[in-house]
Amino acid sequence: MFKVFAGFLGARTLSLGPPPVRPESDEPLIISGERKIIARREPFGPNYFWLNVTRMTQFPKYGRRTLRAATTAESILIADQDFPGRARRQILDVTELQLGLGLMGRTAVFINPPKNAKGEYITDEAELNALLRRQGVESVGGVQLVPNNTLEGALDFGAINYNAFPHGSNLSAIQFVSCGLASLLEHTTAERAEHLRSIARTDNYPGGIYVHGFHPYNFKAGEPPLCTLTLFSGDLDKEVLGLVAAPWCDSKDGYAYGVYDAA
């Protein structure tokens, strides 16, 4: 059984059922190249993001490796492996892919917020800004990208001002993958977010890109001010790729990828 925080889903207790069992055919997805990760090939879901994450923690180990939720960059990298045949057909055209977490601050979006010494996500905007200052991270075009392996508890962490990226519909693929938000989601300093470019290309989504929900939210007392960042296309006639930030409790039918931590 899993107790949901007060304010989420009316503080109900949800049953997750028995712990998952690894199927015999459950071979991991090993991705090499500039970024090397070992992931579970099949996503978890459909469910609320953090119930999917809870299932990951219950999943049998791969050798000595345990599963954790993929960051936005890792989720995008996994989805880009045979995107038309797997991620799009099985997830985006049917429901939504939960890329990871973002925190909607007063003036900026924080992507993949780090955890504190207790293993809890840091949700205080002032504390997150202080971490960025202590790291000496410069703002380039409104984007602050924290290099990995430089901040304990952080992976693919960064921030972007709301006015530094386009919002709304009818964005072209080039507009989208060249903007700071795409770079931050993919955690890259390249001119374009290449894996998102592969996913969002015009022959996949001739209707363009739709970006919505990236603005400050008025969260209820007791709710962590976090949003699930999702990709989807089924609700947009499969012609448009949607990227939406929604309060954690609103992303209830999505799938999330798990990544095996180093042994």
Which pair of structure tokens corresponds to residue 145?
Answer: 């990208």
Residue 150: predicted pLDDT: 93
pTM score? 0.90
Q: Which helix (H) or strand (E) holds 246?
A: strand 241-247
Residue 217: predicted pLDDT: 82
DSSP tag of 7? T
Residue 3: predicted pLDDT: 33
Residue 23: predicted pLDDT: 56
Identity of residue 67: L
Contact 185, 72 (CB under 8 A): yes
Three-state SS at 247: strand
pLDDT single digits (tens) 15-56: 455 555 555 457 899 998 889 999 999 999 999 998 999 999
Residue 68: predicted pLDDT: 95
Give the Cα separation of 161 and 144 in Å (integer): 9
What is the DSSP track for 156-183?
S-EEEEGGGS--EEEE-HHHHHTSHHHH
Q: Which helix (H) or strand (E) holds 76?
A: helix 72-79
Give the Cα separation of 21 and 19 in Å (integer): 7
For residue 206, whether the previous peptide bond is cis, meaning omega lies within 30 degrees of 0, is no
Beta strands per DSSP E along 12-122: 13-14, 29-31, 37-39, 44-47, 67-69, 97-104, 108-111
| Cβ within 8 Å of residue 231, ≥6 positions away | 79, 92, 96, 97, 99, 199, 241, 242, 243
Residue 17: predicted pLDDT: 59
Give the Cα separation of 172 and 45 in Å (integer): 30
CA neighbours closer than 13 Å in the CB half-sphere of residue 134: 9
Which pair of structure tokens corresponds to residue 232?
Answer: 């989807």
Low-confidence ranges of the chain (pLDDT < 70): 1-25, 222, 249, 263
